[in-house]
């Protein structure tokens, strides 16, 4: 017996755009790197900051800051190639993040762009994420969504070709790199692989505990599962590997967290 959904159960324009996005992103030459990063010291530092300041610090803000710092050092990972073969390389690192927010009684992930993250402190990134998360007002549907929902499917999906058509416009609307998280929707470790329309995207997985040999002693440590996805048409394997190595160094060294208490 079939069941017809109500108006509330219909696919929203945001959901339809997400489906279109995933279909178009799946045609890119993506390569994925799955890594485990020791975040024991970073998480301990975040807990200490919370005790000292009385304010929680977003782990996502820390990851965004480390990503932006690494891209600032190796900007070739946010290059884009347009349909004429021209290369665009940006100075500002604009990070598109997925922020969980209550909308119409449901918890959903909202894409939001942290501008110039390479010039920001972790605290300022944290504060911006918290402001967006706390904003429960019903905003008018975005102009691009209103326009797109009226188009036939094959035309609507062309919106996601913006990175190849107009990279500068794409950065203005959606940022230059992206961070998405599956950790916000569950617990435990594990990776996720997702198609992306960005030259570089990080997918933050769960955190699990496992042993690690440190100075000859076996210790229990916390490891973050992280997936780094690159557009292989723009970034070759060796530069991608060097980028991931440097990103891991920043995260394991608790980059930017040592100055939090004095801000």
Task: Reply yes or no on whether the pLDDT at 136 is more than 90.
Answer: no
> What are 37's two structure tokens?
């990063």
pLDDT value of residue 158: 59
**Distance from C-alpha of 92 to C-alpha of 65, rounded to nearest angstrom:** 13
Task: Reply yes or no on whether the pLDDT at 15 is more than 80.
Answer: no
Task: Reply yes or no on whether the pLDDT at 139 is more than 70.
Answer: no
Query: What are the beta bridge partners of residue 208?
Result: 223
Q: What confidence tier does 21 reach under pLDDT thresholds 50, 70, 90?
A: low
pLDDT value of residue 88: 92
Q: Provide, rounded to the nearest whole percent, the portion of the chain with pLDDT above 70.
A: 73
pLDDT value of residue 194: 78
User: CATH classification of 30-137+166-262 is 1.10.1060.10, yes or no?
Assistant: no
Q: What confidence tier does 259 reach under pLDDT thresholds 50, 70, 90?
A: confident
Q: Which residue has the higher pLDDT, 1 or 228?
A: 228
Q: Provide, rounded to the nearest whole percent, the portion of the chain with pLDDT above 90.
A: 49
> Which segment, 3-7, 182-186, 206-210, is predicted with the most confidence on average?
206-210
pLDDT value of residue 229: 95
β-pairing, 79-81 with 200-214? unpaired
**Distance from C-alpha of 240 to C-alpha of 246, rounded to nearest angstrom:** 10
5-19, 133-147, 165-179, 183-197: the lowest-pLDDT one: 5-19
The ranges assigned to domains in the chain are 30-137+166-262
Task: Reply yes or no on whether the pLDDT at 115 is more than 90.
Answer: yes
Please report how many Cα atoms fall inside a 13 Å half-sphere around the Cα of residue 214, on the Cβ side.
Answer: 9
22-36, 151-165, 192-206: the lowest-pLDDT one: 151-165
**What digits encode the pLDDT tens for the residues 46-74?**
999 999 888 889 999 999 999 999 999 99
């Amino acid at each position: 017996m079939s069941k017809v959904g109500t108006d509330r159960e219909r696919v929203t324009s945001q959901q339809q755009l997400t489906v279109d996005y995933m279909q178009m992103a799946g045609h890119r030459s993506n390569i994925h790197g799955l890594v485990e990063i020791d975040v024991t010291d970073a998480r301990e530092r975040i807990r200490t900051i919370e005790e000292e300041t009385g304010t929680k610090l977003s782990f996502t803000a820390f990851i965004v800051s480390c990503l932006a710092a690494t891209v600032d050092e190796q900007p070739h990972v946010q290059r884009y190639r347009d349909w004429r073969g021209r290369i665009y390389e940006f100075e500002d690192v604009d990070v598109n993040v997925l922020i969980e927010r209550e909308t119409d009684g449901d918890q959903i992930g909202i894409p939001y762009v942290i501008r110039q993250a390479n010039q920001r402190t972790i605290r300022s990134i944290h504060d911006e994420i918290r402001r967006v998360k706390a904003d429960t007002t019903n905003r008018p549907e975005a102009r691009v969504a209103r326009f797109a929902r009226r188009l036939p499917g094959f035309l609507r999906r062309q919106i996601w070709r913006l990175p190849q058509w107009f990279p500068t416009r794409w950065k203005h609307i959606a940022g230059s790199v992206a961070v998405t998280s599956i950790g916000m929707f569950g617990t435990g470790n594990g990776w996720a692989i997702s198609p992306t329309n960005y030259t570089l995207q990080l997918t933050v997985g769960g955190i699990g505990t496992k042993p690690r040999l440190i100075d000859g002693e076996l210790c229990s440590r916390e490891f973050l599962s992280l997936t780094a996805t690159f557009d292989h048409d723009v970034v070759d394997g060796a530069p991608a590997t060097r980028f991931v190595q440097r990103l891991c160094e920043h995260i394991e060294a608790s980059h930017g967290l040592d100055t939090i208490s004095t801000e």
